[in-house]
A and B are shown apart, each in its own frame.
Chain A
Amino acid sequence: MTALLPRRGLAQIFALIVILMVDRAVSPQFFDLRLQDGRLFGSMIDVLNRGTPVALLSLGMVLVIATRGIDLSVGAVMAISGAIAASLADSHGLPVVLAAALGAGLVCGLWNGFLVSILGMQPIVATLILMVAGRGIAQLITEGRIVTFTSPDLVWLGNGAILGVPVPVAIALGMLILTGAVVRGSALGLLIEATGGNARASDLAGVGTRAMILAVYVWCGVCAALAGVIAAADIMGADANNAGLWLELDAILAVVIGGTSLFGGRFSLLLAVLGALIIQTMNTGILLSGYPPEFNLLVKAVVVLAVLLLQSPKLTGMAGIVARIRGTKA
């Protein structure tokens, strides 16, 4: 049996199953699926669909965190790319819209990567700049309005279906496979982990750490831009103030729940996406159970704390803590 089950993901899979069971208990039709107009409907599909933006963000974020970095600007990048997509949607074709929006994400990622890898800034600080300024830039693009569009191509990206599967879910799955193939199909993943484990040692060993760090921020920017386009396509408009607001925190949370250490050095793409699904299943469960959505934040806070304490290098047993408390008081 142990050969069939991945050892590292057991806790996450177990957590997801437990939350799904709770959801099933509060809403008996939770697992019901039906096919309508060539698209699947049901609570499960909702969870996948709503979880897409955070899942996409966590795909980029997990690589950044693996290099011991963090990207606070993903929410702002979502707002920028969503604003660009929405403003161009009715006047240009889908390829142009996508190229412009994803290109913007690429540029944002390059900027972050440049600050962190070339100028050597702390990742929190470097990405804070774009987090603060990015939403202003997005509002500049939309001129402070909520830009709406009707272009059927872009709307399809948010609301359409491929073989019954909602397009956003298909895109997220595609990105997961693509990212996985690139980083795990080659030595790239190993080199990223090496960079996070010890940047200086890796550099001396011949790993192009600067290029690695630049690359993960660029990828994170592109993933965030894609999430922004999908979020805009979903609501057929771009709201520079609220698009992607606080999603950087959800993305970091998803990565942490997925067991990736904030101290860098190892990562799991699949578990990060699973983390995003766990968050969304919780959100949906709270909504279905009739509790006010305000409970979301409290539940999230408790989950973050629980996961953190489990990850803590110091939590090797209560004895260790007691010893430390004594040490503090002394």
Chain B
Amino acid sequence: MKGLPPVLITAIVLVAGFVLCALQFPNIASTRVVCNLLTDNAFLGIVATGMTFVIISGGIDLSVGSVIGFTTVFVALAIERWGMPPLVAFVAILALSAAFGAAMGAVIHLFDLPPFIVTLAGMFLARGASFLLSTESVPITAPIYSTVSDFALRLPGGGRLTAVAIIMLVIVIGGALLLQLTRFGANVYALGGSRITASLMGVAVGKMTIRIYMLSSLLAGIAGIVFSFYTGAGYSLSAVGVELDTIAAVVIGGTLLTGGQGSVVGTFLGVLIQGLIQTYINFDGTLSSWWTKIATGVLLFAFIALQQVMIAIARRPAVRPAGATP
């Protein structure tokens, strides 16, 4: 008896939550609200996809929020002050963030340091660098920004599937395929299962570590660009604390924080659950936004406790007396 897979439990929680919300506020069950939910959480979905890879490989990346902040400032300054064409600015920042992630991965691997503390230093570094660039909010007026934010696929029921939501969905699907169908994905699971075993099986642990953190930072960079589309400005204090929301989404999505187990689809559902809580609070109107934090904390606890139970169940057969029915 293996019990329900964690992703299924997350899906059940999401559906049950959605039905409960819809019973109280029938308007929630419309394409308009669902599309807004996707748009509002687009950057979170993108960055959480990268975090899923990191956490499954047994690591953690605390720098993603700062990388988003740095990206928004860099993009805004590059376009508005330095006169770069937007697309060049995007390519530059993505290269920069990928290099940043690769550097963190290299430090983690070469010096055998805990990812937690290395990415913490990365978090300080990226946030500090964005403060140095500008401490003010820089509005972006480039035409591409209004084009992108006006673009939307109209759905029946008044929903507008915006460009940022589409980017997020593409990245989530791409991430899920990368994790499930490629050798790279299999290696990520292997690393999280056991580093030593993986390296004995011929996985290039160093290369993998560098690539995984590179992927996470690259996606954080894309999330930053999406965030700047969403807000239309670059601000060094944007996305403060997003790393926590991201980790929470990944855990609620059924990924084991010890690594080796998890899925991008689950993470996506975790992001939607967080978005649903926020939407419910907006609809209710009397609840304050701090309830989001408490509800997220409670959900986090519930899912982590569930994981503990599942690990305990998974280990039990080993100590069962011979002859016991499985």
Question: A residues within 8 Å of B by Cβ?
Answer: 70, 119-122, 124-126, 128-137, 139-140, 144, 240, 249, 252, 256, 262, 292, 294-302, 304-305, 308-309, 312-315, 321, 324-325, 327-328
A328-B109 in contact (CB<8A): yes
Q: Closest approach, in angstroms, between the C-beta of B13 and any C-beta of chain A?
A: 17
- CA of A133 to CA of B301, assembled, Å: 10
Q: Is B258 an interface residue (CB 8 A)?
A: yes
A304-B110 in contact (CB<8A): no
Contacts of B288 in A (CB 8 A): 139, 144
> How many A-B Cβ pairs are below 8 Å?
123
Q: Closest approach, in angstroms, between the C-beta of B67 and any C-beta of chain A?
A: 13
Q: Closest approach, in angstroms, between the C-beta of B278 and any C-beta of chain A?
A: 13
B113-A308 in contact (CB<8A): yes
- CA of A252 to CA of B293, assembled, Å: 23
Q: Is B25 an interface residue (CB 8 A)?
A: no
A325-B110 in contact (CB<8A): yes
Q: Is B137 an interface residue (CB 8 A)?
A: no
B293-A119 in contact (CB<8A): no
Contacts of A309 in B (CB 8 A): 111
Contacts of B131 in A (CB 8 A): 292, 294, 297
Interface of B is mostly: helix
Q: Is B82 an interface residue (CB 8 A)?
A: no
Q: Is B248 an interface residue (CB 8 A)?
A: yes
Nearest 4 A/B pairs, CB to CB: A133-B297, A297-B128, A136-B293, A294-B131
Q: Is B124 an interface residue (CB 8 A)?
A: yes
Find A298's partner among B113, B124, B298 (CB 8 Å cutoff).
B124
Contacts of B204 in A (CB 8 A): 328
Q: Is B98 an interface residue (CB 8 A)?
A: no
Q: Given A129-B297, A294-B128, check contact A321 B258 (CB 8 Å).
A: no
B60-A124 in contact (CB<8A): yes
Q: Is B29 an interface residue (CB 8 A)?
A: no
- CA of A144 to CA of B207, assembled, Å: 47
Could you jot down 8 A-B contacts, CB within 8 Å?
A119-B305, A122-B257, A128-B248, A129-B304, A133-B300, A301-B122, A324-B109, A328-B206
- CA of A130 to CA of B296, assembled, Å: 10
Q: How many positions in chain B have a CB within 8 Å of any CB in the partner chain?
A: 46
Question: B residues within 8 Å of A by Cβ?
Answer: 60, 107, 109-114, 116-118, 120-125, 127-129, 131-132, 135, 204, 206-207, 244, 247-248, 251, 257-258, 288, 290-294, 296-298, 300-301, 304-305, 308
Q: Given A249-B120, A294-B132, check contact A135 B308 (CB 8 Å).
A: no
Find B121's partner among A140, A294, A305, A325 (CB 8 Å cutoff).
A305
- CA of A295 to CA of B135, assembled, Å: 12
B135-A132 in contact (CB<8A): no
- CA of A129 to CA of B244, assembled, Å: 10
Contacts of B121 in A (CB 8 A): 301, 304-305, 308
Q: Closest approach, in angstroms, between the C-beta of B209 and any C-beta of chain A?
A: 9
- CA of A295 to CA of B125, assembled, Å: 10
Q: Closest approach, in angstroms, between the C-beta of A67 and any C-beta of chain B?
A: 15
- CA of A328 to CA of B257, assembled, Å: 26
Q: Closest approach, in angstroms, between the C-beta of A239 and any C-beta of chain B?
A: 13
A139-B293, A321-B110 are known contacts; what are 7 more A-B pairs with Cβ within 8 Å?
Answer: A128-B247, A133-B293, A133-B294, A133-B301, A252-B120, A295-B128, A325-B110
Across the two chains, which residue of chain A brings its CB closest to B204?
A328
Contacts of B117 in A (CB 8 A): 252, 256, 262, 304, 308
- CA of A96 to CA of B125, assembled, Å: 42
Q: Closest approach, in angstroms, between the C-beta of B101 and any C-beta of chain A?
A: 15
- CA of A67 to CA of B107, assembled, Å: 25
Contacts of A312 in B (CB 8 A): 111-113
B292-A327 in contact (CB<8A): no
Across the two chains, which residue of chain A brings its CB closest to B112?
A314
Q: Given A262-B117, A308-B113, check contact A131 B244 (CB 8 Å).
A: yes
